[in-house]
């Protein structure tokens, strides 16, 4: 494999147990502290602590600092990792050998490495996509799912976010006009992806940085119903590593139809019809369609749907956070009762 990929995972049963990791060229992550026999014995003894696997969004967002806050560490063994090319995984923003199914296989490689027989998958936005795809391929390994801000990776989902006829563009026309002002006409979701995919790889640093920031500003404006002062403003000092990873990898995946056949998830959802799941979705989510959450719920008999009436896409919105905390609490009870 050309290009060395390094990854970072965080495996904890409490906030004091961190873990550094490396992902080699074939993306099998080696978590040094998880390899220690005392910790392994401790984790295997903790039968009352179901393993929970966190999938972050993007692609390219990396794990937020507070990703463990939705879980009671006295009830879960919490595991998080940063996907290829983002966060603390290296090379940063690398698209080589970086596709959807490779990321799914990374989850399985880590599960095998950590000797986890089954786990609960927790993912938001793009993380919900990966969680669902993993469950479809490795169904016996999944005890349940909690997904938030559902992204099914259909053309209509990409159009919702990027098309001039999408809800995001219709609700935020002035932001969309700025976002697409240099995109060749006619503007479509595909032409937006193609334009930005080229610009974020430009050898001209001024053009490249401008494109990266504009993509990031568009997503930031859509992420919440209300933004803190200065957020989404062109004068803001942006964390350039996050901006670069998010814009580059989102363009890469979206311009390649997320490396999935159209409507793949819904057409295969019957494979996990028996697995319990909770779907949390903000009513005013401008990045991921509320209809996607409804369609997933209708096709998935064991799912529960919670549409949050006063929220958009982000977990930073209090009502989304509360709903996720309730979901993890309820799922923990369900798993414990089912194991009796």
Q: Which residues, 6 or more positions from 293, have their beta carbon under 8 angstroms from its beta carbon?
A: 150, 279, 281, 305, 307
* Torsion, CA 60, CA 63, CA 69, CA 71, rounded to 10: 90
Q: Which residue has the tokens 């209509």?
A: 156
Buried-exposed string 223-259: b where 16+ CB fall within 10 A, e elsewhere: bbbeeeeeebeeeeebeeebbbbbbbbbbbbbbebbe
d(CA 246, CA 252): 10
Assign 174 to helix, strand or coil: helix
Assign 273 to helix, strand or coil: coil
d(CA 68, CA 119): 16
Tell how far CA 144 is from the center of its chain: 17
- Contact assessment for residue 315 and residue 224, using Cβ atoms and an 8 Å cutoff: no
For residue 209, indicate whether it is catalytic.
no
For residue 297, indicate whether it is catalytic.
no
Q: Which one of the listed residues 89, 313, 314, 332 is annotated catalytic? A: 313
Q: How would you write 107-171 as a 3-class SS string? A: HHHHHHHCCCCCEEEEEECHHHHHHHHHHHHCHHHEEEEEEECCCCCCHHHHHHHHCCCCHHHHH
What is the CB neighbour count within 10 angstroms for residue 80?
A: 22
- Contact assessment for residue 265 and residue 273, using Cβ atoms and an 8 Å cutoff: no
- What residues does 23 pair with on adjacent strands? 29
Q: Which one of the listed residues 285, 297, 314, 332 is annotated catalytic? A: 285
For residue 285, indicate whether it is catalytic.
yes
Q: Which one of the listed residues 10, 89, 125, 189 is annotated catalytic? A: 125
Active site positions, annotated? 125, 285, 313
């Amino acid at each position: 494999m050309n290009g060395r990929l390094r990854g970072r995972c965080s495996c904890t049963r409490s906030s004091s147990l961190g873990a550094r990791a490396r992902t080699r060229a074939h993306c099998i992550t080696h978590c040094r502290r998880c390899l220690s026999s005392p910790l392994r014995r401790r984790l295997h003894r903790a039968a009352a602590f179901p393993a929970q696997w966190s999938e972050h969004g993007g692609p390219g967002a990396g794990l937020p600092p507070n990703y463990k806050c939705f879980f009671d560490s006295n009830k879960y063994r919490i595991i998080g990792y940063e996907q290829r090319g983002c966060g603390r995984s290296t090379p940063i923003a690398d698209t080589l050998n970086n596709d959807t199914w490779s990321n799914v296989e990374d989850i399985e490689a880590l599960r095998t490495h950590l000797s986890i027989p089954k786990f609960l998958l927790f993912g938001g936005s793009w993380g919900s996509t990966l969680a669902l795809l993993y469950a479809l391929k490795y169904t016996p390994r999944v005890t349940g799912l909690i997904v938030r801000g559902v992204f099914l990776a259909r053309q209509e989902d990409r159009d919702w976010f990027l098309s001039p006829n999408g809800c995001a563009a219709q609700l935020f026309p002035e932001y969309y006009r700025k976002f697409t002002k240099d995109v060749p006409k006619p503007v479509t979701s595909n032409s937006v992806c193609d334009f930005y995919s080229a610009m974020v790889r430009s050898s001209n640093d001024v053009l490249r940085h401008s494109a990266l920031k504009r993509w990031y500003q568009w997503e930031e404006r859509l992420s919440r119903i209300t933004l803190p002062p200065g957020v989404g403003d062109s004068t803001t000092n942006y964390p350039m590593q996050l901006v670069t990873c998010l814009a580059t990898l989102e363009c890469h995946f979206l311009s390649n139809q997320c490396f999935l056949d159209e409507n793949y998830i819904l057409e295969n959802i019957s494979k996990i019809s028996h697995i319990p799941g909770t779907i949390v979705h903000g009513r005013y989510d401008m990045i991921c369609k509320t209809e996607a959450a409804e369609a997933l719920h209708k096709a998935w008999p064991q799912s529960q749907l919670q549409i949050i009436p006063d929220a958009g896409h982000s977990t930073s919105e209090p009502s989304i956070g509360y709903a996720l905390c309730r979901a993890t609490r309820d799922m923990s009870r369900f798993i414990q009762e089912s194991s009796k």
